[in-house]
Amino acid sequence: MSNYVNTDEIMDNMKYKKYYQLNAVEKDLLDNHDTDLNTCNKCDIVVDSANELYWQGDSLDTYHKCMQGYDALCDDCFVKENENESI
């Protein structure tokens, strides 16, 4: 047996935590390794990059006006920002 670390298990554990709640191993994984996870720019929650984050686009079709100042927002924050924008 090797000292293989099960990153899938770590990633499952860190999902939906806020960035400041992560331990050193989890932060290292998120900051320095290619994972499917990313943090929301507004609330710092860790979510799935592809399915649970909105990404700011740089073309007219993909640019979200409500995301000004953010690169990535989780579903919840995006909905809130979008509501603020349309008032």
List contacts with Zn ion (CB under 5 A).
Answer: 40, 42-43, 74, 77
Compute the least distance from the CB of residue 79 to Zn ion, in Å: 10
Compute the least distance from the CB of residue 37 to Zn ion, in Å: 13
User: Whose Cβ is closer to Zn ion: residue 27's or residue 80's?
Assistant: 80
User: Whose Cβ is closer to Zn ion: residue 27's or residue 70's?
Assistant: 70
Question: Do residues 29 and 11 lie in contact, with contact meaning Cβ atoms separated by under 8 Å?
Answer: yes
Compute the least distance from the CB of residue 3 to Zn ion, in Å: 35
